[in-house]
Structure 1
Amino acid sequence: MASSDEPQSLRALFEAAEAKRQEVNEAPSATSPKYAEDLAAALKLYAQALDQISALSLFSANEGVEDIATSSLPYLLVDFYIGELVQRTPHLAPKERLQVLDQARSAYERFLSLADGYGLLTAPYDKLLERYRDEGEAFAVVAATGADMAAKREGKIANFKAEKALKDKMAALRRNPRYLEHGDEELVRELHLTSIRFAIHSAFQALDSLNREVPLLRSAPSPSAAATSKGEDPADTSFRLDQPFDGFRPGTGGPLLSTKGKPLQPFTLIGSRADLAKGVFRPGHNLPTMSIEEYLEEEKRRGGIIEGGGTEPPRKVVDEDDMEAVDRETYKARAWDDFTDDNRKGSGNTLNMG
């Protein structure tokens, strides 16, 4: 028979587990190392509490809820809390997530069976449990078959109102002065029973969510399996569309320009190599990039740039001691002067003559 004088070790275990569960619930991120540590610690403490409950035979199938001591009522929730925490375990791989959901499902089922044995599943939850046992993984809180959209909407509204009513009742009990100041046994017991009813409601919601997630996980192939089935190396990323265009970089692939200057591959010109370096941490580019300096180097390599073009050629320095060379330069200068005297500037341009 249930007793109110359970060992202090069980109470201490349960309180420590509750404290860790609260830390998990208040964690800012589920990816932090502390979250994983608190989650594992809470699950370990709840598992130890279950062992104590079993060793003490705290609950019996031959009893009713009125036979459970008020101080022992919170221990009915241990399996529910385990299911809730296990379901929140972060996993990325579908196979691992499926294992997590199986463990959570088992914990919820143990909790609901225990609560049902004590007659705590009143309407409409008694009918939900019957449907769950019949439908298994096809179960949904709002039945999906044989119901139109209006009926589904009404079911969701009723579900929301039931959850809100339970939350409001728990909040009102906690605010009651008889509970706060005197720890009135009747109010304490009612609060525990309402918390159990809220957990029953939440367990069915969790099973509904779990049943919607499982088919998606089962239909999602793992990355390695998908690659292996296609005869690919899982580490090979050459199939990706967002590959860096290293083969299009100057000097590492084919020519960027034809001998006539026609682009053979798409590329983007940027101001300088410094500008290219600044863009490393920006979103990836779809086209290969090259600086203007690299473009000019490529042009020079293919012979598209004539060295020295566009500048005045250097004047030839005549050795003044070489009289023949001096005479040649003098005659050349006089011939040019005679030519410019006889031919007015622009006289050869006939395009603009009216």
Structure 2
Amino acid sequence: MASSDEPQSLRALFEAAESKREDVYNAPIATSPQYAADLSAALKLYAQAVAQISAVSLFSANEGIEDVATTALPYLLVDFYIAELVQRTPHLAPKQRLQVLAQSRSAYERFLSLVDGYGLVKGSYGKLLERYRDDEDGFAVVAGADMAAKREGKIANFKAEKALREKLQVLKRNPRYLEHGDEELVRDVHLTSIEFAIHNTFQALDSLNRELPLLRSAPSPTTAPQSSGDDPADTSFRLDQPLGRMRPGGGGPILGPKGEPLQPFTIVGSRADMARGVFRPGHNLPTMSIDEYLEEERKRGGIIEGGGTEPPRRQVDEDDMEAVDMETYKARHWDDFKDDNRKGSGNTLNMG
């Protein structure tokens, strides 16, 4: 058994990385500590594999794909797997996410450059690669503003992905592949896997370019205005504060000495009615309840306390003959007036 100081073979490193990658893809919760540990371990193993691939000069720009051994074909996918894993890194802020996407983009580009050097980016994927190199930040799999064309392009992408997935499934179910490990069939499986990865790379770069503008326009946590709710003593954000604080002007008398309004206000039935009607469509937020209005009137002196009874009549001193004669004269004058003027005869506005 090899000692812990002995470097692992490339095959063993790759298999260990593949195992960790499967753990990451199958994790039920992407924010769990185990997910982060598996993701970190997978990336570390793939990085070690890249170092060994470079050390032994496994791939060369001077050879064609037919010169690459069948057992070496899976290693062409290392940068693609790194790009996917990096893109799955949990993020906490837009700035961190931007860094993650930049690292992921670099890994995708290394993968495309490697497989393109072997002539594996061909057909429609070759055209996509040309467009990407012409405008990396503005690249989209389906270009143009024509909605019908975009829809057709999305359908074509879906059909291409489905065809590649089904082809892989058929190849891997073949008994020659499962039982005998037929080299020609195994090679076909690896090349189809690479083609599938090329397809997914362009989809990922498209998605990445749609996400970047949103992240760049997101407010920075350090410059975002502090929420009023951060200060326990600040209750200005509360919806249940006293009605007086919700009036324009924030306080002061509502009515003047003569009853003229000094501030705008709205009268409502009660606080309970106000609470029930807050979310009613077209509701204007009230600023004063009936109770508060009456209290303002009482302070101003516009309410007669203890009302409901007639004011007491002035008592006449019976010994004061002049005062008695004056009261008698006023009573007779009032009786004569009522005899000469029928009740309601002066009402010219309401003739009823």
TM over 0.5: yes
Instruction: Indicate the residue corresponding to 2:135 in structure 1.
Output: 135
Matched, 1:10 2:23: no
Gap change, CA 1:83 and 1:240, over 3 Å in 2: farther
RMSD: 3.1
Instruction: Indicate the residue corresponding to 2:153 in structure 1.
Output: 155
Gap change, CA 1:119 and 1:240, over 3 Å in 2: farther
Gap change, CA 1:134 and 1:267, over 3 Å in 2: same
Alpha carbons 2:228, 2:236 under 8 Å: kept? no
Question: d(CA) in 2 for partners of 1:225 and 1:37?
Answer: 32
Letter in 1 for 2:212: V
Instruction: Indicate the residue corresponding to 1:183 in structure 2.
Output: 181
Alpha carbons 1:80, 1:108 under 8 Å: kept? yes
Instruction: Indicate the residue corresponding to 2:68 in structure 1.
Output: 68
Q: Which runs of structure 2 are paired with 1:1-354 in the superposition (5 Å)?
A: 9-143=9-143, 145=144, 147-227=145-225, 235-236=230-231, 243=238
Unpaired runs of at least 5, structure 2? 1-6, 243-266, 274-352
Question: d(CA) in 2 for partners of 1:240 and 1:36?
Answer: 40
- How far does the alpha carbon of each residue in 1:227-265 deviate from its partner, in whole angstroms, 9 at most, with x for none? 27xxx89955888986485x76xxxxxxxxxxxxx99x9
Alpha carbons 1:64, 1:119 under 8 Å: kept? yes
Shift of 1:62: 0.5
Gap change, CA 1:266 and 1:198, over 3 Å in 2: same
Gap change, CA 1:11 and 1:266, over 3 Å in 2: farther
TM-score normalised to structure 2 length: 0.65
Gap change, CA 1:178 and 1:95, over 3 Å in 2: same
Alpha carbons 1:227, 1:233 under 8 Å: kept? no
Shift of 1:225: 1.1
Alpha carbons 1:227, 1:234 under 8 Å: kept? no
Aligned to 1:62, what secondary structure does the other structure show? coil
TM-score normalised to structure 1 length: 0.64
Letter in 1 for 2:140: A
Alpha carbons 1:83, 1:108 under 8 Å: kept? yes
Letter in 2 for 1:123: G
Name the count of aligned residue pairs.
248
Gap change, CA 1:234 and 1:88, over 3 Å in 2: farther
Alpha carbons 2:228, 2:237 under 8 Å: kept? no
Shift of 1:223: 2.8
Letter in 2 for 1:23: D
**Comparing 235-244 and 47-56, the one that deviates more:** 235-244
Instruction: Indicate the residue corresponding to 1:325 in structure 2.
Output: none
Alpha carbons 1:21, 1:39 under 8 Å: kept? yes
- How far does the alpha carbon of each residue in 1:159-207 deviate from its partner, in whole angstroms, 9 at most, with x for none? 1111011000000000001001100000000000000000000000000
Shift of 1:106: 0.1
